[in-house]
Amino acid sequence: MAKAKELLIVGAGLTGSLTASLLSRSSVQANITVWDKARGCGGRFTTSYSDNDRSLHVDMGAQYLTRCLETSENKVKNDVYKELLDASILTPFQGMIEGSKHSHNDKHYVAPKGMSSICRHFLDHSKASVQFKRCLKSVSINGGRVLCAAESGIEEIFDGLILTLPAPQLLQLQGNLLSSRAATDIVSNLSSVKYSSRYALGLFYNAETVHSSPGMFDSPWSAKYCDHPVIRYMSWDQLKRGAETPGATLLVHTSVPFGIKQLNTDKDQVKGQLLEMVGEMMPGLPQSSHSYLLRWRYSQVQDKFPGLHDFVVMSQDPLVVATGDSFSGSNFENCLRAAMHTSEFIAQ
Ligand SMILES: Cc1cc2nc3c(=O)[nH]c(=O)nc-3n(C[C@H](O)[C@H](O)[C@H](O)COP(=O)(O)OP(=O)(O)OC[C@H]3O[C@@H](n4cnc5c(N)ncnc54)[C@H](O)[C@@H]3O)c2cc1C
C-alpha cells in the first residue's frame, strides 16, 4: 500500500475546514494537518463571546448563509447543506432582514451556536490534526517537498500544501515559494486581488439590562441594512437565530468607506465613535454589559484573482495550491466551490 502523503492546509476558516473535510471523504490517501494563526477556528466565520456570560455570543464576520436555489443542482453542495441541517449546525434565518437586496428565491440560514461552529463541524469530520496559534511565516520548496516554518520557529516538511489565507496575507510569506521565476505571473495576479475593509462592533446585553428595558429589545427586524454613511448593517443575533435567551447581542458592521478611512485609527477611538452613532440611531438603547470591536482589514473580496479559477497551482511537485475567497468570491457558496474544486483537483 502506498504511504499516505503528509498534507498541510493553512487556514482553519471556511475554505480550509471544508477542504479538509472534502479531502478526508475522497480517495486521497493523506494525513491532513491544519495550521491557523488564531486561537480557534472560523477565520471570517468567527463568533465572539461575552466576557461575563458565555451564553451571549455574536457573529462578528459572516452573518448568514444564502442558498441560491437557482444553482442548487450540485450534489456536493446539496449534501453539505443537508449534513449541516441534519446536524442542526444550520437553521433557517428567523425574522425580517430590512433593506435586503436578496432575491425572494434565496434561502438564508444561521448557525445557532455561531458561525464558527460550521468550521468546527467540518474540522471534526476531517479528523485532521489542527494546530492553532501556529502562524505560517515561510514556505520553501526543496527536493520535491515543502518546508513550512511557523513564526514560533517550528519547521515541518510536507508532501503538499494548501494555502487558504487572503491573497494580501499570502504575499507576506517568506521563503522561495513566491520568489522563483516561475511564480512571477502568479505573484502579479495575487497582487491584483483587493479586499474591502470594515469594522464590526459586538454589543452584549445581560438578562437584567434586557429585563429593565424590554421595549428596546423587541425589534421588528432581526437584521437590517442601513442607509447611513458609517453604519451599514445591524443584527440582533438572538433574534436571527430565534433563540430564547434572557440576554441579547447586537452586531454592527460599518460601511466600507468608513472602514478604509479609519483603517489605522486607534481602535478605542473608533469604538467610541461607533458607540455614539449607535446611540443616535437607537435612542434609549441601554449601555451594554460588554462590547468588542474587530477591525476587518481583509473583509470581502472586491477584485478577485483574474480569471474564473477557484484555485491556483503554485507548484506541481511538490503540490502547492492557493485557494479561498481571493479566487472564488466572498460568501459560503463561493468558498464551498473553491474547496470542492481544490479537493477534486488534488484527488485526480
Ligand atoms: C464583515 C464580514 C461580513 C461577511 N458576511 C458574510 C455573510 O453574511 N455571508 C457569507 O456567506 N459570507 C460573508 N462574509 C464573507 C465570508 O466570511 C468569507 O468569504 C469567508 O469566511 C472566507 O473564508 P476563507 O476560509 O476563504 O478565509 P478566512 O476566513 O480569512 O480564513 C483564512 C484563515 O487563515 C488564517 N491565517 C491567515 N494568515 C495565516 C498564517 N500566516 N498562518 C496561519 N494561519 C493564517 C486566518 O486566521 C484565517 O482563519 C463576510 C465577511 C466579513 C469580513
Structure confidence at residue 70 as a pLDDT band (50, 70, 90): low
Asked whether the CA dihedral 127, 77, 119, 341 is positive or negative, the reply is: positive
**Alpha-carbon torsion, ordered 281, 282, 283, 287, to 10 deg:** -120
Q: Is 139 in the pocket of ligand 1 (CB under 6 A)?
A: no
* Closest atom, ligand 1, to C-alpha of 299: 53
Q: Is 13 in the pocket of ligand 1 (CB under 6 A)?
A: yes
Q: Which of 135, 330, 334 to mutate to test the pocket of ligand 1 (most atoms within 8 A of CB)?
A: 330
Lowest mean pLDDT among 4-8, 214-218, 291-295: 214-218
Q: For ligand 1, atom 23, which residue shows the shortest CA distance?
A: 14
Q: Is 323 in the pocket of ligand 1 (CB under 6 A)?
A: no
Structure confidence at residue 71 as a pLDDT band (50, 70, 90): low
What DSSP assignment string belongs to 69-113?
A: GGGTT-HHHHHHHHHHHHTTS-EEPPS-EET----TT-EEEE-TT
φ/ψ of residue 69, rounded to 5:
-70, -25
pLDDT of 321 reads: 97
For all residues of the chain together, what is the average pLDDT?
94
Burial class, 187, CB count within 10 angstroms (exposed 0-12 / middle 13-18 / buried 19+): middle
What DSSP assignment string belongs to 120-138?
A: HHHHHHHT-EEESS--EEE
Q: Are 187 and 281 in contact (CB under 8 A)?
A: no
Q: For ligand 1, atom 44, which residue shows the shortest CA distance?
A: 36
φ/ψ of residue 127, rounded to 5:
60, 25
Q: Which residues contact 207 (CB under 8 A, 6 or more apart)?
A: 246, 247
Give residue limits of the domains in the chain: 5-194+303-347, 197-296
Q: Is 166 in the pocket of ligand 1 (CB under 6 A)?
A: yes
What is the C-alpha to C-alpha distance for residues 107 and 243, in angstroms, rounded to an integer? Answer: 19
What is the C-alpha to C-alpha distance for residues 145 and 153, in angstroms, rounded to an integer? Answer: 19
pLDDT at 3 over 80: no
The CATH number of 197-296 is which of 3.40.50.410, 3.40.50.720, 1.10.10.10, 3.90.660.10? Answer: 3.90.660.10
Structure confidence at residue 75 as a pLDDT band (50, 70, 90): confident
How many angstroms separate the most distant Cα atoms in the chain?
Answer: 68
Kindly state the average pLDDT of the residues 190-219.
93
pLDDT at 92 over 50: yes
pLDDT of 173 reads: 98
Kindly state the average pLDDT of the residues 174-182.
91
Q: For ligand 1, atom 26, which residue shows the shortest CA distance?
A: 324
Kindly state the average pLDDT of the residues 33-61.
93
pLDDT at 2 over 70: no
pLDDT at 227 over 70: yes
Higher pLDDT, 35 or 143: 35
Q: Is 43 in the pocket of ligand 1 (CB under 6 A)?
A: yes
Structure confidence at residue 72 as a pLDDT band (50, 70, 90): low
In 10 A of CB 245, how many CB atoms? 15
Q: Per residue in 260-302, pLDDT tens? A: 999 999 999 999 999 999 999 999 999 999 999 999 999 999 9
Q: Per residue in 94-123, pLDDT tens? A: 999 999 887 777 899 999 999 999 999 999
Centre of ligand 1 from the C-alpha of residue 218, in Å? 31
Q: For ligand 1, atom 5, which residue shows the shortest CA distance?
A: 62
The CATH number of 5-194+303-347 is which of 3.30.365.10, 3.50.50.60, 1.10.1200.10, 3.40.50.150? Answer: 3.50.50.60
pLDDT of 102 reads: 79
* CA nearest to 291, candidates 263, 250, 255, 258: 250
Q: Are strands 5-10 and 30-35 parallel, antiparallel or unpaired?
A: parallel
Kindly state the average pLDDT of the residues 79-106.
92
Kindly state the percentage of the chain with pLDDT values over 70: 98
pLDDT of 104 reads: 76
Higher pLDDT, 75 or 335: 335
Q: Which of 33, 109, 126, 165 to mutate to test the pocket of ligand 1 (most atoms within 8 A of CB)?
A: 165
* Closest atom, ligand 1, to C-alpha of 326: 26
Using a cut of 0.85, tell me whether the model's pTM lies above it.
yes
Q: Which set of grid coordinates corresponds to residue 123?
A: 474540522
Q: Are 311 and 338 in contact (CB under 8 A)?
A: yes
Q: Is 119 in the pocket of ligand 1 (CB under 6 A)?
A: no
pLDDT at 1 over 70: no
Structure confidence at residue 243 as a pLDDT band (50, 70, 90): confident
Q: Which DSSP helix (H) or strand (E) runs through 205? A: strand 198-205
CA separation, residue 205 to residues 292, 294, 326 (Å): 12, 18, 35
**Alpha-carbon torsion, ordered 36, 39, 41, 44, to 10 deg:** -90
Kindly state the average pLDDT of the residues 165-178.
97
Centre of ligand 1 from the C-alpha of residue 61, in Å? 8
What is the C-alpha to C-alpha distance for residues 327 and 313, in angstroms, rounded to an integer? Answer: 12
Burial class, 242, CB count within 10 angstroms (exposed 0-12 / middle 13-18 / buried 19+): middle
* Shared fold status for 5-194+303-347 and 197-296: no
Structure confidence at residue 245 as a pLDDT band (50, 70, 90): confident
Q: Are 197 and 259 in contact (CB under 8 A)?
A: yes
